[in-house]
Amino acid sequence: MPALPDKHRSFIEWYLEVLELAQLTDKRYPVKGMNVWTPYGFLARRQLDRILIEEIEATGSKPVEFPTLIPQTEFQKEKEHIKGFDAQVYWVTRGGATELDIPLVLRPTSETAMYPMFALWIRSHQDLPLNVYQIVNTFRYETKTTRPFLRVREIHFFEEHTCQVDEGHATARVESNLGAFARMARRLGLPYLAVRRPEWDKFAGAFYSIALDAPVSGAQTIQLGSIHHYRENFSGPYNIRYEGPDGTSRLVHQTTFGLSERLLGALVAVHGDGKGIVFPPEVAPYQVVIVPIPSKMGPDPRPWTEELAGRLRGRGLRVEIDASEDRPGAKYYRWEARGAPLRLEIGGRESAEQSATAVDRLGTKVPIGPVGIEDRILGLLGEFDRRLYAAAEERFRASYATAATLEELTGSEKVRLIAWCGEEACGHDVERAIDGALLGTIVGDPPLPLGAPGPCVACRRSGGTVWAVAGRPL
Ligand SMILES: [Zn+2]
């Protein structure tokens, strides 16, 4: 079997080959940046969506679905938003042979589709808060090199949009989203850092943006998602108002929360190794793969394989039997590349005993059964999840280091924590030095114990500095 490229020396080459090997996507579609979801990729995505839906609905958000097409007239109401997206939108200008009176935009995100309707839905303070989300495809004409799941032109997009009575309630919604994301990320085994993006890098039209970044390799990071506070920036132009208890008309304050299939790219990037993908059990398309090993002597392993699969499915597990004619070694290789958390090997002896040999994706091999075999498998999956997360957390902490000077940023092999005075010019000095981005200022707990920040890494001014993060976003 050919070896994969080294993950740390040539991350992107490794990433692209791993996706091929695992058959999560098929890159041969003739429109660049638009992915074909293969059955295996689709099953993984479905688990991701399930987790997002469970966690967001637990915070009181309700599902909606808005049209894909947005009239130009609505799209152009918020000036900053237009500036941010104008170069990235696809236009629909004809219906059959007829030129449309008002050209339509393929949604790059759905503010401008939803907000004219929110203005109709919201009348009084009793209609608030309005917390809704949708999972739909959005379209952005990406001009940089596209990468499956990480930078695409047709995006599988989760977007929550909320309207609140005032700025404080909108800030509380941002906090609630941060909590929901923390729970999602734990279920995906993804350690991350929440940062407030600098002014020049916030979402087009936002008051502020919080990004959720995961370090992947060296100083490289992946943005997993983002949460935005809009204040009245959109409710003004879209006239989303309500009548307060005192009878006055007020603008709502809004927030949004966005996630995408980048989460799947991040799962691959963060957990993957020299053999391929490693899926945490929550999101694995198949949590258990059973490989029956027929032999000339001994009983046929298939009846026990079928029975065990049925019992495990009865316990809520996603189980696949690899009954292909490939040799056992080829099957092991395939399911390691595809990241199945647990493999059960069943030969003649296991069949006779109603037992199995369990091998997890991190290589731990144990005989199990026959007594309490389902419970044992559930236990092994739980243990596997904890070990996978502990290993990811250890790499997460090791990805960061402080830097006191711009020189330390040049060629850095770590994501850097730096003291910053907040001036944009210093921010750009940092970006040039690391050849990447000033990702933002830390929200919540830092990845390392940090004392008070020293003088600004760029201008050396003391006092009034804050801890910020610099890295190379993928
Ligand atoms: Zn400075």
Find the 424 Cα to ligand 1 centroid distance in Å: 8
Find the 409 Cα to ligand 1 centroid distance in Å: 15
First and final C-alpha spacing in the chain: 29
User: In a 3-state reduction of DSSP, which class is residue 107?
Assistant: coil
Alpha helices in 261-358 (DSSP H): 262-271, 302-314, 328-337, 348-353
Find the 430 Cα to ligand 1 centroid distance in Å: 9
Structure confidence at residue 298 (pLDDT): 79
Structure confidence at residue 278 (pLDDT): 98
Fold of 288-386: Rossmann fold (3.40.50)
Gap between the Cα atoms of 334 and 320, Å rounded: 13
Structure confidence at residue 429 (pLDDT): 98
Place of tokens 């049925």: 310
Gap between the Cα atoms of 153 and 150, Å rounded: 10
Q: What is the pTM of this model?
A: 0.95
Domain segments of the chain as ranges: 11-271, 288-386, 400-473
Give CATH for domain 400-473: 3.30.110.30
Find the 412 Cα to ligand 1 centroid distance in Å: 20
Find the 454 Cα to ligand 1 centroid distance in Å: 11
Find the 458 Cα to ligand 1 centroid distance in Å: 5
Find the 469 Cα to ligand 1 centroid distance in Å: 14
Peptide bond preceding 129: is omega within 30 degrees of 0, i.e. cis?
Answer: yes
Find the 167 Cα to ligand 1 centroid distance in Å: 30
Give residue 95's identity as a one-letter amino acid code. Answer: G
Find the 456 Cα to ligand 1 centroid distance in Å: 5
Find the 465 Cα to ligand 1 centroid distance in Å: 8
Gap between the Cα atoms of 332 and 350, Å rounded: 17
Find the 213 Cα to ligand 1 centroid distance in Å: 23
Express each pLDDT in 19-66 by its tens digit: 999 999 998 999 999 989 999 999 999 999 999 999 999 999 999 999
Q: Are 122 and 240 in contact (CB under 8 A)?
A: yes
Q: Is the pLDDT of residue 92 over 70?
A: yes
Express each pLDDT in 158-172 by its tens digit: 999 999 999 999 999
Q: Which tokens in the block code for residue 379?
A: 């236990």
Structure confidence at residue 384 (pLDDT): 98
Q: Are 381 and 361 in contact (CB under 8 A)?
A: no
Structure confidence at residue 80 (pLDDT): 83
Q: Which tokens in the block code for residue 405?
A: 């000077």
Find the 457 Cα to ligand 1 centroid distance in Å: 7
Find the 461 Cα to ligand 1 centroid distance in Å: 6
Mean pLDDT along residues 279-299: 93
Q: Is the pLDDT of residue 84 over 90?
A: no
Find the 240 Cα to ligand 1 centroid distance in Å: 39
The rounded mean pLDDT for the chain is 96
Q: Is the pLDDT of residue 83 over 90?
A: no
Mean pLDDT along residues 419-441: 98
Strands, DSSP E only, in 72-186? 91-95, 98-106, 130-139, 154-164
Gap between the Cα atoms of 231 and 215, Å rounded: 30
Peptide bond preceding 370: is omega within 30 degrees of 0, i.e. cis?
Answer: yes
For domain 11-271, the CATH class is: alpha beta
Find the 425 Cα to ligand 1 centroid distance in Å: 7
Q: Are 435 and 473 in contact (CB under 8 A)?
A: no
